[in-house]
Amino acid sequence: MPTGGKLIRFGGPDRETREELARFEYLARQWHDRGRSRRMLLPARLVRRGGEAVAAGRRLDVAPSPRLVALLDASARASRWRRGLAAGGAVLVVAAVPWWLTTREAGPALAVDEAPAGGGLPTIETPVEEPVPSPSRPVFAEWVEHRVIPVETLRDVAERYGVSPGLVAKWNGIDPEAPLAPGGTLRIKPNARPLPQQQVEYEVERGDTWRSLSERFGVSLSKLRAYNPDGGKTLRTGQQLVVWLDPKPHPPPSERKPIPDFSPRADALSHGSPNGGWLENGLQLPQSSLYRRRKPNLMFGSSHTIRHLMRGIALFRRDMFFDGVVVVMDISRRKGGSFPPHKSHQAGRDVDVWLPTLKGVYKQNHLGKDRKPQPNEVDWYATWGLVKGLVDTGEIKFIFIEYDLMAKIYHAAALSGVPESTLHEVIQWPRPKFAMGGILRHSDSHTRHIHVRFRCGPRDKDCRD
Ligand SMILES: [Zn+2]
């Protein structure tokens, strides 16, 4: 049984094992979602590592998903097949059960749907190349599909993923000199994985000009015009424009301001549970330059909640330069209690906050129209910053958001250089949808806002989580 120390090099063993497994589960999900593409099979080196992770996981009673088992198995077969070819036709594909599967007592049935029926051999269309390791993060042999946006050049695309234009042309069998067709896709094996570009719609307001909108969105004038070829020479009020935004991590502010001491009156107390509690001496979220209030008469909380809500948003703005608006919406009624359509929000400890939007998207009248941000308008880097600021108060029980959106926050955080250990502590993803773990958790229908649940404060005597 291959449990020798030389195979397993996990330092803080539990967490690292779980993280390693989570990475492989992530690859398996991507592979599965792309129709179990042969192009996304793992190279031998990663098959070995995946096998080690699975074995280590079993010792912690963590079973791999059937699709991870299938990915490892299919990859192992494919690399044996390749090795067989390299050895001059001495094909070694026996219906061998890889060694890591022999070490388990019981588990899911082997789901080997890569191998054709009748004892045939899997065919490999494209050899899986060894990835170029990036200095900061492990790179897996994984293709991405890039959707070409208007006026994008081969050079733009290549730069985006940290590869040469020549390679992109080669991978896709295209003429490096010919312009790219917007809407088409390119297959790339990246060294860098930025978040995708986001298309937003904008309704022209009185006074807007091409130039002012170019500044508003931080997009060059020529690109803005190219995105809207029928936009006309001068803009008309009410005209609809399309803008492609390329989200980037936000730098820290130039000057790190101290956090003010938010000490509102202390007698607003939370009683009972979020789904069946009430609020004593409800405290209204005060006006502040940190955020906008959506409906002040529905924004009462416990002293503890209000204090740490303000603190969390201030921490976000201290640590990340976000030149946008944070919109706070429902908290609780003045006395708490039932607050339809919410199930919770009863005890002054639940706060809904709109997802922060990309530069230029937010308009003053969005508040009045209750025009919550669309998913394509959301600034995922800023959302991560907001989550982190709130979590850093130490007073957050949970933050809820829809699972798929959580993945975007995770990637934004990872691209911002947040260490795996922090990601694991804060974000449920890539654990499964209903797994325990993390403060940021899945909850259905949270697609336009995060729902933040604060802990009971020290004075909230009969408060229950
Ligand atoms: Zn809510």
Q: How far is it, in rounded angstroms, from Cα 335 to Cα 195?
A: 43
Task: State the distance from the centre of ligand 1 to the C-alpha of 274, rounded, in angstroms.
Answer: 10
Task: State the distance from the centre of ligand 1 to the C-alpha of 423, rounded, in angstroms.
Answer: 23
Task: State the distance from the centre of ligand 1 to the C-alpha of 339, rounded, in angstroms.
Answer: 10
Query: How many domains would you assign to the chain?
Result: 4
Mark whether 309 and 333 lie in a shared domain.
Answer: yes
Mark whether 114 and 150 lie in a shared domain.
Answer: no
Mark whether 104 and 219 lie in a shared domain.
Answer: no
Shortest CA distance to 362 belongs to which of 391, 329, 327?
A: 327
Does the residue 65 lie in any domain?
yes
Tokens 């990835």, residue? 131
Chain center to CA of 44? 28
Average pLDDT, the chain: 83
Answer yes or no: is pLDDT of 30 > 90.
no
Task: State the distance from the centre of ligand 1 to the C-alpha of 26, rounded, in angstroms.
Answer: 29
Task: State the distance from the centre of ligand 1 to the C-alpha of 367, rounded, in angstroms.
Answer: 17
The answer to whether 22 touches 62, Cβ cutoff 8 Å, is no
Task: State the distance from the centre of ligand 1 to the C-alpha of 451, rounded, in angstroms.
Answer: 5
Task: State the distance from the centre of ligand 1 to the C-alpha of 401, rounded, in angstroms.
Answer: 10
Mark whether 126 and 152 lie in a shared domain.
Answer: no
DSSP, res 405: H
Query: Residue 162 maps to which CATH number?
Result: 3.10.350.10
**Tens-digit pLDDT profile for residues 212-238:** 999 999 999 999 999 999 999 999 999
Mark whether 281 and 394 lie in a shared domain.
Answer: yes
Does the residue 215 lie in any domain?
yes
**Tens-digit pLDDT profile for residues 85-100:** 444 333 222 222 332 2
Mark whether 337 and 440 lie in a shared domain.
Answer: yes
Name the strand (E) or helix (H) holding 148: none
Query: Residue 378 maps to which CATH number?
Result: 3.30.1380.10
Compute the CA torsion angle 431, 57, 71, 87 (nearest 10 deg). Answer: 150
Task: State the distance from the centre of ligand 1 to the C-alpha of 267, rounded, in angstroms.
Answer: 24
Task: State the distance from the centre of ligand 1 to the C-alpha of 331, rounded, in angstroms.
Answer: 8
Which residues have their alpha-adjacent CB atom under 5 A from ion ligand 1?
352, 451
Mark whether 280 and 426 lie in a shared domain.
Answer: yes
Task: State the distance from the centre of ligand 1 to the C-alpha of 341, rounded, in angstroms.
Answer: 9
Task: State the distance from the centre of ligand 1 to the C-alpha of 72, rounded, in angstroms.
Answer: 40
Mark whether 45 and 99 lie in a shared domain.
Answer: yes
Answer yes or no: is pLDDT of 209 > 50.
yes
The answer to whether 214 touches 200, Cβ cutoff 8 Å, is no
Q: Parallel, antiparallel, or unpaired for β 269-271 and 278-280?
A: antiparallel
Task: State the distance from the centre of ligand 1 to the C-alpha of 190, rounded, in angstroms.
Answer: 38
Domain that holds residue 292: 269-454
Mark whether 423 and 327 lie in a shared domain.
Answer: yes
Does the residue 462 lie in any domain?
no
Q: How far is it, in rounded angstroms, from Cα 347 to Cα 221?
A: 50
Task: State the distance from the centre of ligand 1 to the C-alpha of 285, rounded, in angstroms.
Answer: 16
Task: State the distance from the centre of ligand 1 to the C-alpha of 350, rounded, in angstroms.
Answer: 6
Q: Whole-prediction pTM value?
A: 0.71
Task: State the distance from the centre of ligand 1 to the C-alpha of 291, rounded, in angstroms.
Answer: 17
Per-residue pLDDT at 223: 95
Name the strand (E) or helix (H) holding 294: none
In the structure encoding, which two tokens stand for residue 188, read together?
Answer: 């790339």
Mark whether 274 and 375 lie in a shared domain.
Answer: yes
Shortest CA distance to 346 belongs to which of 389, 405, 286, 305?
A: 305
Answer yes or no: is pLDDT of 80 > 70.
no
Q: Parallel, antiparallel, or unpaired for β 449-454 and 350-354?
A: antiparallel
Q: How far is it, in rounded angstroms, from Cα 397 to Cα 238?
A: 43
**Tens-digit pLDDT profile for residues 248-305:** 999 999 888 889 889 899 999 999 999 999 999 999 999 999 999 999 999 999 999 9
Task: State the distance from the centre of ligand 1 to the C-alpha of 12, rounded, in angstroms.
Answer: 36
Q: How confident is the model at residue 141 (pLDDT cuts 50, 70, 90)?
A: low
Task: State the distance from the centre of ligand 1 to the C-alpha of 455, rounded, in angstroms.
Answer: 15
**Tens-digit pLDDT profile for residues 336-368:** 999 999 999 999 999 999 999 999 999 988 998
Mark whether 225 and 125 lie in a shared domain.
Answer: no
Mark whether 308 and 428 lie in a shared domain.
Answer: yes
Does the residue 8 lie in any domain?
yes
First to last CA, the chain: 45
